[in-house]
Structure formats: C-alpha cells, structure tokens
Amino acid sequence: MVDLKVSLCGWELDNPVIPASGTFGYGAEFKDFYDINILGSIALKGTTKEPRYGNPTPRIADCPSGMINSVGLQNPGIDKVISEEIPNLKTFFHKKSVANACGFSIEEYVEVASRFDECEDIGIIELNVSCPNVKHGGMGMGTTPESAYEVTSAVKKAVKKPVFVKLTPNVTDITAIARAAAEGGADGLALINTALGMRIDLNRRKPILANVKGGFSGRAIFPIALRAVYEVYEAVDIPLIGIGGIATAEDVIEMMLAGATAIEVGAENLVNPYACKQIIDDLPAAMEKYGINKLTDIIGGAHRG
C-alpha cells in the first residue's frame, strides 16, 4: 500500500494535489462532478480587500497546449469571502483551504492576510505577489528582492498561520526573489504563477485580449515551472508548492523529484473538471511503477544524484 500523505508546515494532507487559485472557484462548480474531499486541499480564488470586477473583456485567449487569461483578480472581496464563500464551502468540503491573499499595497496585503488568519477553516495563507494581470500591485510586489522581502515581512508580523509566497516566473532570477521572501520570514513558497504572453487576432490585426497581455498557463509551461522549482529548491530551505502545467500523476512525481512537497493543478481543471480526481486515482499505480512507497521519500530526489 503506497503512502500519498504529505505535510506542509505541520499540516498533514491526504495527498499533495491542490486545485490552484482561480481555477476551482470556491469548489461549488466541481462538487457535483465528484466528492472533492478526496483533494489534499483547495486554493481559493485570489482575494482583495474590496470587490473587483476584473479586467475588461475579452480576457481569455486560446493557445496550443494552454491558454492566456487576463481576468484581473475578479473576486467578491474579503468580507464576502469570509462571511459567505468559506461558510458555503464548509458545507461540502471538510478540510482546511489555502487562502490566496492579494493586494495593491503592502497595507492591503496585511489586512487581507490578517482577516484570513482569523479564519479557522484556512490552513495556509498563499501570498500572491505574482499576478501579471493587475497594475500597481500583483506581480509588481514580486519582481524585486526588496519588494518581496518587504511585503513578506510585513505580513508575517501580522499573522500566525503559515505564509507561502507565490512567485512569478517573469523575472531574471527567481532564486533571488525566493531568497528574499525566505529572509522576510516566508514559511514556504508556491511557484510558478503564469508567464506573460499575448495573442493577435489576424482578422482584426489587433491583440485578442483587451488588456493586450495576460498570463500564459497550461501544459506548455510545465518545463518552465519544473526548472524554477528545481532551482529554488537549491536556493532555500523551506517547503515548496509546485505549480504550472501539471496534468498527470507522472507530472506530480516529476515535480516532487524537483523539490516540491505539494502541487497545484491550474489550467487543466478548466479543460477537464475531473483532472484532480484522475491524478489522485492514478498516483498509486504511477508510484508502484517507479518503485515509490512514500511520496515524501522522493521530495528533492533529483538533487541527490
């Protein structure tokens, strides 16, 4: 019998599979497909202090092996997430969730994270300093070591729950940002968020997205995410959540060998609503195929020669 359990900062998960923020909503759309309690956890939609409609449409563009989105952190705001969305989720999902805290200033990050810190149904706060689809915040907070350190340390001083900083690949050296977040007190890191991309409508001869650029995600970015996790694992000594293009049980094993303790499944949920369930169902056979008894035994295994 293989062991799928993993632990994030003392929080034990039945398996490492977590739907990524923004691709699973608050679980309600998926609960009728399968019992989502089989998941390790759920990463909630990115949440800001005030409600946000998001960016103008069109804000989705198709790509081979992926998609580009410029949704722009559409969400109902922290008050409604805590008073309505999380209580509703609790009626059909009986595990703690990962909260995704966003902001347009350090003060907003601190306020949103502090509100999540008070919520007993939240296990980890994922600090989103890497969204490419908003201005004056989002990715801007995570593109220099100085800003990453500043926002991380400010949030860590205000909360007690573990804080995982979500990193952008849209930088020259992701390891420098990772070290800065770790020095700021991050309990862990989540990587990567989407890569910047765009598409052009040949008939209109104009960008498809109203925002011109957006976040590129899907199977095509898996090698980029894998490389980032591998590099960051060697740069810091805190747990990592691997994100980006994960679609199969073999992808999970590969990502954990690179250094991830858990993984998040993003765009694949939008292609196949059963994606996370299928990955979990397939993991035992994949582990047996590669001689793995416990998933925790392989974390960072690719670094050991």
Residues annotated catalytic, as ranges: 131
Considering only CA atoms, which of 59, 166, 54 is closest in space to residue 109?
166
Q: Cβ contacts of residue 1 below 8 Å, gap of 6+?
A: none
Distance in angstroms (rounded) separating the CA atoms of residues 246 and 265? 6
Report which of 265, 267, 273 is spatially closest to residue 62, judged by C-alpha positions: 267
User: What one-character-per-residue DSSP string does 108-149 give?
Assistant: HHHHHHHHHHT-TTEEEEEEE---TT-SSSGGGGGSSHHHHH
Structure tokens at 267: 């765009």
**Whole-number Å distance between alpha carbons of 260 and 190:** 9
> Distance (Å, rounded) from C-alpha 140 to C-alpha 72?
14
Provide DSSP, 33-45: TS-GGGSS--BPP
Q: Which helix (H) or strand (E) holds 214?
A: strand 214-217
> Are 241 and 259 spatial neighbours (Cβ–Cβ below 8 Å)?
no
DSSP letter (8 states) at residue 57: S
Strand partners, 122: 97
Pair of tokens at residue 258: 């690179």
Q: Are strands 11-13 and 6-8 parallel, antiparallel or unpaired?
A: antiparallel
